[in-house]
Amino acid sequence: MTYGVDFDGTLSLGLWPEVGPANRELFDFLIRKQRQGDKLILWTCRAGDALEDAVDFCRENGLVFDAVNDNLPEVVERYGSNSRKITCDYYIDDRAVHADEYRFTCDVDMNRIEAALIRYADRIATAV
């Protein structure tokens, strides 16, 4: 499996541009998944020094990504190009809403989005 993971509000629970505190449960989960052979991509809007700070923070917390804001080399080879959208099985992001959890409507249902985020936080907190 391949996981695309956001940084701010997901791995780092502080406010941008600072890094930290670490979401220790998520770090532990991802380290465990990587040891089991899964691939990890840091997928963040950060760039330049702010991106370097995020990568260094993750490394200091035991997490080294297989790619940063980029597709895995084997994906580029398979498709013959490098899409701007990374190819992952799972995206872990504090602002994500799963399509199955959201009714397709023109209205943004903030209660539904908030409930999905709470369920996500609960899953991460209890990840085995």
- Decide if 9 contacts 92 (C-beta within 8 A): no
Task: Please state the domain extents for the chain.
Answer: 2-91, 97-128
Q: Tell me which DSSP letter residue 101 carries.
A: G
- Decide if 104 contacts 118 (C-beta within 8 A): no
Q: Classify residue 128 by burial, with Cβ atoms within 10 Å: 0-12, 13-18, 19+.
A: exposed
Superfamily holding 2-91: HAD superfamily/HAD-like (3.40.50.1000)
CA distance 96 to 103: 14
pTM: 0.77
pLDDT tens readout for residues 54-80 = 999 999 999 999 999 998 888 889 989
pLDDT tens readout for residues 19-57 = 999 999 999 999 999 999 999 999 999 999 999 999 999
Rounded to 5 degrees, φ, ψ at 3 are -110, 125
CA dihedral 77, 83, 89, 92 (to 10 degrees): 140
